[in-house]
């Protein structure tokens, strides 16, 4: 009887361990899936950065044996990803400046401050002129160099309180905060002139950088969609007056 009870207890223990192992394997599969999804579905991460991020847990897992240790590795990597991916979600990978998501977050803060303290400022949207022609003549590599150069010029010529972002393929936005509408528009036009004076050397040829601009001021009561819409409309009007085509920016 004692022998049979021991056999039963042994079988139950083995069954429990089997269930635990299956649960751990399932948990590891879920964790691994979370890592892959977070990396592969990230909106702004480059292909090279995705490859690097995916390789990191594989290297770490190859150095441990037990399932508990492997789970700890995956959980640690998920924690690291959270701190790594958060800023990447607000960064344009091509130009390394802020993206539209980051700009909208900053604008919400600025508009809230405007409502509380009566602050004013200007949102300027820049759209590269004849960018399609640049891509056709120089390829996407040449187009990318133009975008990088444009980002560099804008960032170097604004104040620390201003905010520069790439918000679409060939569109950039500059938030000129804590300034009057007149001063903000003047500074935005000066940026436009500085862009016009910029040239990019690519594959032995010189590419000129030109951009049209649309400005809209904000004040107490200004809404985020309304601000984007007015700036986009002003940009459309300038493009049209210069005989250039423009697709309206979605607000």
Per-residue pLDDT at 79 exceeds 70:
no
* Predicted pLDDT of residue 9: 45
At residue 72, the pLDDT reads: 72
pLDDT surpassing 50 at residue 116: yes
Q: Kindly indicate the confidence band of residue 134, based on its pLDDT and cuts at 50, 70 and 90.
A: confident
Q: Binning pLDDT at 50, 70 and 90, where does residue 12 land? A: very low
The percentage of residues in the chain with a pLDDT greater than 90, rounded to a whole number, is: 46
In DSSP notation, 27-68 reads HHHHHHHHHHHHHHT-SS--HHHHHHHHHHHHHHHTT--SHH
Query: What's the confidence (pLDDT) of residue 127?
Result: 94
In the chain, pLDDT over 70 holds for what percent of residues?
Answer: 66
Determine which of 94-103, 115-124, 130-139 has the lowest per-residue pLDDT on average.
Answer: 130-139
- For the chain, how big is the Rg over CA atoms in Å? 27
Domains in the chain with CATH codes: 2-88 (no CATH), 98-241 (3.30.70.270)
**Predicted pLDDT at 8:** 42
User: Which of the residue ranges 13-17, 88-92, 187-191 would you say has the lowest mean pLDDT?
Assistant: 13-17
- pLDDT-derived band at 226 (thresholds 50, 70, 90) equals very high
pLDDT, mean of residues 212-236: 96
Determine which one of 20, 170, 201, 203 is catalytic: 170
Q: In what order do the strands lie in the sheet with 121-128?
A: 98-99, 163-168, 171-176, 121-128, 211-218
Kindly indicate the confidence band of residue 38, based on its pLDDT and cuts at 50, 70 and 90: low
Q: In this predicted structure, what is the pLDDT of residue 138?
A: 85
Q: How confident is the model at residue 178 (pLDDT cuts 50, 70, 90)?
A: very high
The confidence score (pLDDT) of residue 203 equals 82
pLDDT of residue 66: 60
The enclosing H or E element of 175 equals: strand 171-176
Q: What phi-psi label fits residue 98: left (phi over 0), alpha (psi between -120 and 50 degrees) or beta? A: beta
pLDDT score for 60: 62
Has 170 been annotated as catalytic?
Answer: yes
| Section 40-54 average pLDDT | 69
């Amino acid at each position: 009887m004692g022998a049979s009870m021991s056999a039963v207890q042994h079988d139950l223990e083995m069954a429990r361990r089997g269930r635990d192992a299956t649960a751990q394997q399932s948990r590891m599969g879920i964790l691994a899936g979370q890592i892959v999804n977070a990396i592969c579905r990230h909106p702004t991460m480059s292909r090279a950065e995705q490859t690097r991020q995916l390789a990191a847990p594989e290297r770490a897992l190859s150095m441990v044996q037990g399932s508990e240790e492997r789970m700890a590795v995956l959980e640690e990597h998920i924690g690291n990803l959270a701190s790594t991916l958060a800023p990447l979600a607000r960064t344009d990978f091509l130009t390394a400046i802020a993206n539209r998501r980051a700009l909208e977050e900053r604008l919400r803060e600025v508009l809230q401050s405007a409502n509380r303290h009566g602050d004013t400022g200007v949102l300027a949207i820049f759209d590269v002129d004849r960018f399609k022609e640049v891509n056709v003549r120089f390829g996407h590599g040449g187009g990318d160099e133009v975008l990088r150069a444009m980002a560099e010029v804008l960032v170097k010529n604004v104040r620390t309180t201003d905010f520069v972002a790439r918000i679409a393929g060939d569109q950039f936005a500059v938030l000129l905060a804590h300034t009057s509408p007149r001063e903000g528009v003047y500074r935005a036009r000066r940026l436009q002139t500085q862009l016009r004076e910029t040239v990019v050397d690519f594959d032995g040829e010189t590419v000129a950088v030109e951009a049209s601009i649309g400005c809209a001021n904000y004040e107490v009561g200004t809404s985020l969609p309304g601000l984007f819409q007015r700036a986009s409309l002003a940009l459309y009007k300038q493009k049209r007056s210069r005989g250039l085509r423009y697709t309206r920016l979605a607000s």
